[in-house]
Chain A
């Protein structure tokens, strides 16, 4: 039965994340953005709150319940976190983007080996490395190579723009085992930090998400054990590429949820600005016009959220969702730009207040949501290819 209400568990997960966002993120948000640094205390607080706290319990409960809902629970809290601060959300300790490929492509032994250490109560991060200086959208064209020598894989190549790349314990790195195979030759490898030949290059300075770490990773004759190749689940030749793409079907709704969170924050703040900070003597007609614009964006915000919810719900039910995942990511990515840029425009006549600083920060943060995890154009390509499976849309 169609239902847009949250269960008690879902509501609890959302409320918990909101509380965290409000107490831990908002207060340090502007400062972290300015300094591009996150205090250790934040990391430890997140560690405690998320592994010992109610969210951890919610997760276990969800796994015990008859219906799987980890995607839903995760997007519900992602939206709240991004409402707090999207950059800080990306830095919360945990396996992060490394988890989906390990879970979908790792053997049970690999899962235990690689993900187990994340439960030890210490600070750990994980990363996923697909993008290279030479390729981004066209993942299949990557040039990082992996060659099997005896019991070891030898990796050579260059990745960039990798979130948490420099602080991660593990980086799931995609490389080709045979360039002539194209996408069929691509495989995911788990590379631990400290492996000789694996070095961190520059840390990027960015227009937005400034507190989020974006790193360059260099692999020079980097040797990892043979069993660090994730291909346990499927022997199919497509396993590697499918792993990369399958990961995206699960993570796009999360990125969509982050975009919705920022958009909601900006929408709320703009409404509040109009209520509280509108300069004296402001034209009443103009005010009415702004209110109508905000009403409409409020509706679009709900639509974006529903698209995200639906894609995550499908993922939990194991219903193929790449079209829907791309739809929610594309819609939310476009919307967050629209809402944040409207916020900056609408509040332009005001004093340089804290609200305006937040709005300006969110506007800078928003742009990347049209770019990472597949650009706006790539999402539309995915949707179109799903709508026309029989047509070759290059």
Chain B
């Protein structure tokens, strides 16, 4: 039955995430960009709230991830700062993929460290999805593995893997040679000190600078069969891929909302020709457009998240996640660009975060 209201509990979690986003995340956006990473202190605060450990309690987590709830959290984090949000979610997708695709002992081994009270906040995971040859679409994954004795031979590339240089688990999405579409997708944990693997840390990035990332190239790289999470071609991998897209969409909605909110404040206070600039339709209509398109993209994202929680078939789910991230990033880009326009010259100056948000949105694709 149609319903557009989060539950009471989700609303409380959202509010908690929002206050953390405003009080802790937003103020550190610029400095994190200068540092090129999240500060351990901030990560510690977030970890203590349980927001960054959506794992089963048996692995020390705060309760197993639900897509709708976590989409709300992702939007709030993105509202705080898109790059820090991607830093957090990029890391989280490592253990979450292990949770969704891996077996019990892999889960125990790779997830538990994230919940550790004293060191969990220093732990980083990663999920390599997009490649040199495509974007965040399962059908565009062309890195392949083939079996050779007790090993897999890995070929292909990954780009923009957040925390990809220093993570454990370091998961990459690949496909069994000869498969296409959503068939044969696997999640493989890759050590980087193997023959045929090349890692390069991303430098001089346009945006998402506070989310350090790396790119990989694999040429006939041998990977032990024990690195496979669960069964090759299982539905858990597709659910992980869909979840990543849904959460990226959540962050993008948050980024768009941040831009909208910031531009609204500015447009209210800025006087030109004796009137607040928002009293001119050229500005008012731009704001109305931003708000309308953001709501549209958020609803699309929520729909994908509800499908994830309901266990909708993977084919549909993957598509819904892809549509959500595409539309949400689209509005994140246009809203941040328009926010700068509304700020005028000030938008171009780094005293205001709008330009950083525009770079972040553009770097999500």
Contact = CB atoms under 8 A, between A and B. Distances in A.
A306 B264 CA distance: 25
A196 to B, nearest CB: 44
Nearest to B279: A393
B288 A387 contact: yes
Given A327-B291, A380-B285, A384-B284, A313 B3 contact: yes
B3 A393 contact: no
A147 interface: no
A265 B13 CA distance: 40
Interface string B1-32: 11111110000000000000000000000000
Interface stretch (B41-49, B74-82, B162-170, B298-306): B298-306
B195 interface: no
Interface in A4-23: 4-7, 10
A265 B310 CA distance: 29
Q: Which interface residue of B278, B281, B284 has the most chain A CB atoms within 10 A? A: B284
Contacts of A274: none
A330 interface: yes
A306 B299 contact: yes
A284 interface: no
A304 B310 CA distance: 23
Contact of A6 (B1, B5, B264, B299): B1
Interface in A274-333: 296, 299-300, 302-304, 306-307, 309-310, 313-314, 323-324, 327, 330-331
A10 B1 CA distance: 8
A306 B303 contact: yes
A4 B303 contact: yes
B288 A384 contact: yes
A236 B300 CA distance: 40
Interface residues of A, number: 39
A327 B292 contact: yes
B6 A302 contact: no
B284 A4 contact: no
Contacts of B288: 330, 379-381, 383-384, 387
Given A327-B292, A330-B292, A388-B264, A313 B300 contact: no
B4 A392 contact: no
A4 B295 contact: no
A392 B1 contact: no
A307 B296 contact: yes
A381 B281 contact: yes
A327 B48 CA distance: 39
Nearest to B260: A387
Contact of B300 (A303, A387, A388): A303
A3 interface: yes
Contacts of A81: none
Nearest to B303: A4
A357 interface: no
B325 to A, nearest CB: 11
Interface in B255-309: 264, 267-268, 276, 278-279, 281, 284-285, 287-289, 291-293, 295-297, 299-300, 302-303, 305-307
A388 B284 contact: yes
B299 A303 contact: yes
A324 B295 contact: yes
Contact of A2 (B4, B289, B293): B4
Contacts of B2: 3-7, 10, 72, 309, 313
A303 B296 contact: yes
Interface string B323-362: 1001100000000000000000000000000000000000
Interface of B: 1-7, 68, 264, 267-268, 276, 278-279, 281, 284-285, 287-289, 291-293, 295-297, 299-300, 302-303, 305-307, 310, 323, 326-327
Across the A-B interface, the 4 shortest Cβ-Cβ residue pairs: A303-B296, A306-B299, A384-B284, A383-B288
